[in-house]
Structure 1
Amino acid sequence: MRLLHTSDWHIGRTFHGHDLLEEQWRVLSEVAELVRSEGVDVVVVAGDLYDRSVPSGEAVQLCVDVLERIRKAGARLVVTPGNHDSPQRVGAFAEFAAAGGLHLHTRTSRLHEPTVLTDEHGPVAFYGLPYLEPDPARQVLRGTPAPGATEEDIARGHEAVLREAMNRVRGELATRPGTRSVVLAHAFVSGAESSDSERDITVGGVDRVPAHVFEGVDYVALGHLHGPQRVSERVRYSGSPLAYSFSEARQRKSVWLVDLDEQGLGAVRRHELPVPRELATLEGELDNLLQDRQYEPFVDCYVSAVVTDESRPLDGMRRLRRRFPYAVHMEWRPAEGRARAPLRYSEAVRGRDERRIVRDFVTNCRGTEPSESECALLDRALDEVGASEVRR
């Protein structure tokens, strides 16, 4: 049986205000084509189908279209929700969807109930662990104790609820001798590297868990971290199909192609995905960024610019976008030694009249003092404000 392991689609996400639906459609359509060309039997999606718990109608439609395209390419799907998803929304009509080859594992109380699919070597059990927030998951698991367990068996914390979940998986798997197994989970496993675009899940006690929690199964398809990585031979992150922060610019987005043979895990291959739009971080004085031909290859990239002008450029982002229409971020960072130390407000205004305060504010923002004509404009504006206050 050949699996394709993917996760963290985050459909509906924006990139510094830019809509990504078109890019998401392009790269996820490639996943469907890969299913067809590689003869993939099952696609597993380990959480975060959507970027929001209440996705837009456009995001839902794109997700439906992608899942349908994958199904028509010949693969069945096994999906679990992540920390961005709403389990109730993702799991709606799960029983009906399963009849069409889409298996949605969204209920904590039923995480030990697998989807069982077969190939020429026999059955493969797929266990989907939805994102387990510690306290709510603990309450659900305590309310549905495993055979022989008591309420005191489940400790607090993310590792504890994941350990309990895996104990239930291994217990159920033990009733199926000779059955190969795959677990989908959405978690931060020790030894893996994060990036800037993952939502922090350490709040409320959700923290890293050791990889050995997942022992006893043939393959563990992880989601949550956006960089593709191998925790162990059997435990891997596929990463997100698109870069969602500039910290991911050097990551080669990919999926894992996993072959299960008669004994269990066979071969694992990494397949890189296309990049709809590259990311680039540029640094230099603004005029140089706008004129130097060395920056021509980055015109169609999402650009984050660090401008090093001695004075803060006026209309910097607008000017930047004349050459780089997909510029999404600009930071003013004067060359070393030129930056002024920040002033406390009380120090900045002490012993100064309104005109001096306004001029110093302009100086602090731009790095240079206003010209005589600019001072005249500032004084005129203050006079008009003062006259307006008198009329009131």
Structure 2
Amino acid sequence: MTPFRFLHTSDLHLGKRFGQMPEEARADLQQARQQTIATLARMAQEQGVGHVLIAGDMFDTETPSERVQRQALAAMGAATDLHWWMIPGNHDSAAAETLWAGMESHAADNTHLLMQPEPVEMTPGVHLLPAPCRHRFAGQDLTQWMDDYETPAGDLRIGLAHGGVLDFGSDEADGEVISPNRASSARLDYLALGDWHGAFTLNDRSRYSGTPEADRFKHAGRGQCLLVELTGAGQLPDVTTLETGAYHWQEQILQLTPASDVVAQLQALLPTRRAEWHHHLMRLKAEGWVTAPQRLALDEAVAQVAPEFCHFALEKSGLRSEHQVSDLDLIATNGALRAAAEDLMGAAEDARQAQGERDIASAALNRLFAYAQESSSSAEGEA
């Protein structure tokens, strides 16, 4: 038979608000997410495939705005040479009757909403077995029915489902539970899974595509989809990863010591192409021990590069300070300010105190050092 090729994607989460992000980054990420349909259509056309399978969570909630719904449907309808096949996920389950009724009333002929666990023939000899999420938490394996469905010998069988598997887990607590052996027991040539936002190969015939536009540091890199080719019933699928995301998410560990060149180490972790920093989200976790001058240098270096990123976060909860007498001299050599600095240094190094109290004293001393350096720089500038 002629090989059957399609794109497998999931977890578009259109309408996601990104409420934990600053306003400007939030707007950028929302806009990129709304463009994923057009990106997938372009990818499908470039690869010469006529079908896109969406394994649940097209929308982030069961109540996406009318604007989000209609723009998504318009983008799918505009790709007249493609067929879109989608199931409700746990975020936009079939229980959201108003959502899916509205989608049905405005969907183009090439957009197929699979609301029941009933097989459909995508094209002659290719059967799609969908397992739509009926409720947000169904508490059962919705793919089990696939085992008992018979198809003509030699026809292809493709499963489409959303949820975690028994030995892997889910990106959503209490999500659906799918047997890791479903592809085998249901004689599927391929099982297209959704829910996990990063790509994951469960076995030779079962894969999570990941989201086409990354949305968290947990799944680093850019979003992607999968190009799947089935050459015949019983043959292993040929799967190729296609990068689709506009934004790259990255978390890095910056391990420091009092001997570190903190600026050089920071720069070594930055993406190589500076012109693309605006499409990067970076979370930098600083760990180890540093002196007050090093800490100040790190803060200043981050402040220099952060505005060029879509989002840049520096986490210093794992970073401790090593205080030296020479640091105190940079605050004040005598007087009340020096006495206050010495008291804070003593408290920060007092092993009899709880670690939390020592951390507070250390943070206060670091702040005092930074203020002293700012005041010194201002005075020099005025002079």
* TM-score, scaled to structure 1: 0.65
- Once residues 3 and 342 of structure 1 are traced to their aligned partners in structure 2, the CA distance between those partners, rounded to angstroms, is 65
Q: Distance in 2 between matches of 1:126 and 1:234?
A: 14
Q: Give 1:66's aligned residue.
A: 75
The answer for the alignment partner of 2:150 in structure 1 is: 174
Residues 179-188 or 268-277, more deviating:
268-277
Alpha carbons of 1:64 and 1:133: their partners in 2 closer, same or farther (altered >3 Å)?
closer
Pick the aligned partner of 1:117 from 119, 122, 131: 122
Asked if 1 retains the 8 angstrom alpha-carbon contact of 2:58 and 2:89, the reply is yes
1:183 to 153, 156, 159: 159
The corresponding residue for 1:302 is: 281
Distance 2:244 2:37 in 1: 10
Structure 1 residue runs of 5 or longer lacking an equivalent are: 138-156, 349-359, 375-392
Partner of 1:41: 50
Change beyond 3 A, Cα 1:189–1:362:
closer
Match of 2:247 in 1: 277
Which residue in 2 is equivalent to 1:223? 194
One-letter code aligned to 2:144: M
Q: Which moved more, 1:298-307 or 1:93-102?
A: 93-102
Q: CA deviation at 1:225?
A: 0.9
Note if 1:3 corresponds to 2:6: yes
Deviations, residues 73-100 of structure 1 (Å, cap 9, x unaligned) = x111110111111423552256656770
Report the more deviating stretch, 268-277 or 236-245. 268-277
8 Å CA contact 2:51, 2:82 repeated in 1? yes
The alpha-carbon deviation at position 293 of structure 1 amounts to 5.3
Is the CA contact 1:219–1:265 (under 8 Å) kept in the aligned structure 2? no
User: 1:131 corresponds to which letter in structure 2?
Assistant: C
Contact preservation (8 Å) 2:15, 2:68: yes
Offset, 1:7: 0.6
Render the CA deviation track for 1:215-272: whole Å, top value 9, x for unaligned: 322221100112222222221111111222222225x643222234453656423132
Aligned partner letter, 2:208? Y
Please tell me whether the aligned partners of residues 189 and 237 of structure 2 are also in contact (alpha carbons under 8 angstroms). Answer: no
- Matched residue type, 2:361: T
**Distance verdict in 2 for CA 1:211–1:264, change over 3 Å:** closer
Which residue identity is paired with 1:199?
E
Q: Find 2:32's aligned residue among 23, 26, 40.
A: 23
Q: Distance in 2 between matches of 1:132 and 1:223?
A: 15
> How many angstroms apart in 2 are the aligned matches of 1:13 and 1:63?
13
Q: Give identity over the alignment, percent.
A: 24
Cα distance change, pair 84–322 in 1 and its aligned pair in 2 (3 A): farther
TM-score, normalising length: structure 2? 0.67
Rounded to whole Å, the distance in 2 between the matches of 1:199 and 1:228 is 15
- Measured in 1, the distance between the counterparts of 2:367 and 2:104 equals 69
User: Letter of the aligned partner of 2:14 in structure 1?
Assistant: I
Task: Tell me the residue number matched to 2:209.
Answer: 238
Equivalent AA in structure 2 for residue 324 of structure 1: A
Structure 1: how far apart are the matches of 2:177 and 2:291? Answer: 43
Q: CA deviation at 1:46?
A: 0.1
Change (3 A) 1:261 1:55: same
| Residue aligning to 1:351 | none
Note the C-alpha offset of 1:128: 1.7
Q: Is the 8 A contact 2:128 2:159 kept in 1?
A: yes
Is the partner of 2:69 in helix, strand or coil? Answer: helix
Q: Residue 225 of structure 2 aligns to which amino acid in structure 1?
A: V
One-letter code aligned to 2:128 = F
Query: Any idea what SS the aligned residue of 2:49 has?
Result: coil
> In 1, are the aligned partners of 2:228 and 2:239 still within 8 Å (CA)?
yes
State the alpha-carbon separation in 2 of the partners of residues 292 and 231 from structure 1.
Answer: 36
Distance 1:7 1:231 in 2: 15
C-alpha separation between the residues in 1 aligned to 2:360 and 2:159? 58
Q: Distance in 1 between matches of 2:352 and 2:58?
A: 43
Does structure 1 conserve the Cα–Cα contact (< 8 Å) formed by 2:194 and 2:208?
yes
- Verify the 8 A CA contact 2:6 2:49 in the aligned structure 1: yes
Question: Deviation at 1:39?
Answer: 2.1
SS in 2 for 1:35: helix
1:26–1:193 distance in 2 versus 1, CA, 3 Å: same
Residue identity in the other structure for 1:117: M
1:200 alignment partner, one of 168, 173, 177: 173
Indicate which of 238, 259, 264 corresponds to 2:229. Answer: 259
Which residue in the other structure is 2:315 paired with? 331
Q: Could you tell me how far apart the structure 1 residues matched to 2:129 and 2:233 are?
A: 18
User: Secondary structure, in 3 states, of the residue corresponding to 2:159?
Assistant: strand
Distance 1:230 1:362 in 2: 46
Alpha-carbon distance between aligned partners in 1 of 2:43 and 2:120, rounded to the nearest angstrom: 23
For 1:40 and 1:307, the matched residues in 2 are separated by 45
Q: Is this contact kept in 1: 2:77–2:107, CA < 8 A?
A: no
Number of aligned positions between the proteins = 318
